[in-house]
Structure 1
Amino acid sequence: MIFQALRSLVFYLVFFVHTIPLAIVIGLMAKLTPGWRGAGWALGQYWNSANLFFLRWLVGIRTRVTGAENIPEGGVIIGAKHQSDWDIFAILPHVGHPAFIAKKELLDIPLFGWAAKWMDTIPVDRKRGKDALPLMMAGAKDALERGRRVIIFPEGTRRAPLDVPAYRSGIVKMYLALDVPVVPVALTSGLYWGRNSLVLWPGTARAKFLEPILPGLSGEEFLATLIERIETETNRMVLEDAREGLARPISPRLRERLDALEAEIGAEL
């Protein structure tokens, strides 16, 4: 535990020392040389790859992503389970130059926010209530028309593995209004980099792009299909990882849910 905590501390130090100068450089490029977006995006890709490298060699988190062949060409929506910051690093290399949907507060941060806007991040201003959705929709529509993959976390925030799902309505409204496929993503990253844990645990975090949901369903049918695909595959993957053995301590709550899942689907694996 102490050794892994020290490894985690080294990772966080390296992460911030590495990220801050890059955010300054890319943020200034966004303001001063907006036509150099290609160079800025190349730096962003380098930052992403470096973080996966740091996770692998400083704390022992390997990355495995499968199912990228399920992503259609052109503009699509990627609707991913969200358990960890790892999710962004893992998804990004497989979706070309995407447009992330993120809280407006993140884009208000000097330099970092400038860089994020320059990289096609779509802001969601939750303080504006119902008025936030049309603005988000307009940004997503523009990104899709430019062939971007729009990435959204349908639950809105990170959730622990096997927590009760809490999907929001935003992705349903996007699906109905934008008329493009939605690619669900299942993952297990919360087993290794928990939302409320400062300690990162070694193992292989996995993400899987699932079969796309094509346009044409009702809102209710779409949401039911999205939840069924993401949650069923995520539960299966989490149970597989747990069976192989986890380095992290398993809380009584997680153990109870793993035992229930084992009783429910264990014989199918």
Structure 2
Amino acid sequence: MVFARSLTFNIFYLIWCAIFFTPCLLLMVFPQRYMLIAGHYWAVVIFWLLKVICGITYEIRGQENLPKDGKFLLVSKHQSAWETIALMAFLDNPCIVLKKQLLRIPFFGWYLWKSGVVAIDRKAGTKALRQMISESKIPLENGRPIVIFPEGTRSTPGQAPQYQTGIAALYTGLGVPVCPAALNSGLFWGKNAFVKKPGKIVLEYLPMIPAGIKSKIFMKTLQDTIETASNKLIDEAEKVEGK
């Protein structure tokens, strides 16, 4: 049954993307905000499909921890495609840091480009780091929070974390506070997983880490905060499922 539901979801997901992204080409000539608004409704439909077909619901916690001026870094645990969609949809005008290769995907990549993301070449080393810091400054000045995943790729629940040191350089270079984000999405929509399991995904915005902390202390604080909170959310979900 779970496999059949997952197959059905994937079919409707592809149909919805085809319906959505084709007319979105018309928005390429309009201001950026229209593409961001369209992206919000794209995500809303996807979450509705997840709920109706796969039995996956979601809860957003800690929204009171988000600064209203938008001038902050949001550093999130990354276990699934789910949070990429969620953070683009539910944050106010976010700017996401992602790998440059995603811009090459027809339609979806064009949407990302028009949305004003920061696209970096991971193989470029320090050059990519300087680019990431430089290109993040203008969105921040315009009140757009910068969203980044510290591990650089999706992980599985329980996997040993590998936080990239470039996060500390971005934190220091921008001089803004950080909102850590924890989640348990990998339990229900795993990394590269075809099957989507029923349950409730929780995304939790945690208390801010202030600007100006030394890099090593910042990295330890960030990792401990995100991992501890994410593990609690995983334990919470597993108790509900009776594991």
TM norm structure 1: 0.86
- Please name the residue that 1:215 is paired with: 211
The 5 Å alignment of 1:6-25 reads: 6-25=4-23
Contact 1:49 1:89 in 2 (8 A): no
Flag the 1:168–1:27 CA change in 2: closer, same or farther, 3 A.
farther
Counterpart Cα distance in 1 of 2:47 and 2:56: 8
Task: Give me the whole-angstrom Cα distance separating, in 2, the residues matched to 1:198 and 1:25.
Answer: 27
1:174 aligned to which of 159, 170, 174: 170
* Structure 1 residue 110 displacement after superposition: 3.1
Inter-CA distance 108–92: structure 2 relative to 1 (3 Å threshold): closer
Equivalent positions of 1:208-247 (< 5 A) are: 208-245=204-241
Residue 145 (str. 1) matches residue 141 (str. 2): yes
Matched position secondary structure for 2:11: helix
Instruction: Kindly provide the CA deviation profile for residues 78-135 of structure 1, in whole angstroms up to 9, marking residues without a partner as x.
Output: 0000001111233334420100111100012233222111101110111322211111
Q: Is 1:54 the counterpart of 2:52 in the alignment?
A: no
The letter of the residue matching 1:176 is T
Structure 1 residue ranges (4+ consecutive) displaced by more than 3 angstroms after TM superposition: none
Give the Å deviation of 1:72.
1.1
Q: Secondary structure at the match of 1:14?
A: helix
The whole-number CA distance in structure 2 between the counterparts of 1:87 and 1:111 is: 20
> What CA deviation, in whole Å up to 9, does each residue of 1:29-83 have, x standing for no partner?
32xx1x3433322211110111111111110000011001101122111000000
Residues in 1 aligned to 2:121 and 2:132: alpha-carbon distance in whole angstroms:
8
2-structure distance, mates of 1:47, 1:145: 27
Unpaired stretches in structure 2, ≥5 consecutive residues: none
Aligned: 1:70 with 2:65: yes
Aligned residues: CA RMSD: 1.5
Alignment of 1:96 with 2:61, yes or no, is no
Q: Find the aligned partners of 2:41 and 2:88 in 1 and give their Cα distance.
A: 11
Quick one: percent identity of the two aligned structures? 34
Equivalent position amino acid for 1:194 in 2: G
- Which letter does structure 1 place at the counterpart of 2:17? T
Indicate conservation of the 8 Å contact 1:107/1:114, yes or no: yes
Between Structure 1 and Structure 2, how many residues are aligned?
Answer: 242
Aligned-pair CA distance for 1:170? 1.8
Match of 1:85 in 2: 81
Partner of 1:131: 127
2:24: which partner in 1? Answer: 26
The answer for unaligned runs of 5 or more in structure 1 is: 251-269
Q: In the alignment, what sits opposite 1:183?
A: 179
Deviations 1:204-254 (A, max 9, x none): 0111000010101000010000011101111111111111116xxx8xxxx
Specify the code of the residue in structure 1 equivalent to 2:92: G
1:134-175 residue CA offsets vs partner (Å, 9 max, x unmatched): 111111111101110111000011100011011001211111
2:3 counterpart letter in structure 1? A
In structure 2, what residue type is equivalent to 1:62? Answer: T
> Greater CA deviation, 183-192 or 118-127?
118-127
Q: What is residue 157 of structure 1 aligned with on the other side? A: 153
* CA spacing shift, 1:139–1:24, aligned 2, 3 Å: farther
Partner of 1:45: 40
Q: Is the 8 A contact 2:51 2:57 kept in 1?
A: yes
Structure showing greater Rg: 1
